[in-house]
Amino acid sequence: MTISIIPEKISNIDKYKTRSKITNSTQANKELINKTKNLILSIEVANKELKKLDIPYLNDAEIVYYEPEKIICKSQKEILKFKIKELQSQFIEILKKSKLFSKLKKIEVLIDYSNNKTTKKIPLNPKAKQALQQIRKDLKI
């Protein structure tokens, strides 16, 4: 069995629909990957810059979304949300001095409740449980 190569068909490979779909989708994937890399890098740089500024309350937060006009911070401390609402204009003034945050207009905070410890149910004392059952039996009779 031999494979015959037809020059006319080889020259038309780029015109096939499946070929163009594959190249378009791979190009779109490459662009998407580049955009995500840029987003990740910009968030890392913004976090480093925020730590350098050493602003009270904000040094406990981590930037999860960065845009020149807006940042979204994530923290486990609920007090941060109220402090940023109170002092947002002051925080923005301080951050605007840095070149990275020079166009900043808004700061938002997300509170992460996933690491908060839930209170465990205290197990009952077995002697107290038996005494309760005894009292219930006595009251029924």
Domain parsing of the chain, residue ranges: 17-116
From first CA to last CA, the distance across the chain in angstroms is 97
Residue 104 · residue 68 · CB < 8 Å? yes
d(CA 64, CA 75): 10
pLDDT in tens, 71-127: 999 988 888 888 888 888 998 999 899 888 889 899 988 888 776 555 566 776 888
Q: Class of 17-116 per CATH? A: alpha beta
Residue among 100, 94, 31 nearest 58 (CA): 94
State the pLDDT at residue 141: 59
pTM: 0.58
Look at residue 5 and tell me whether its pLDDT is greater than 80: no
Least confident of 4-18, 42-56, 57-71, 79-93: 4-18
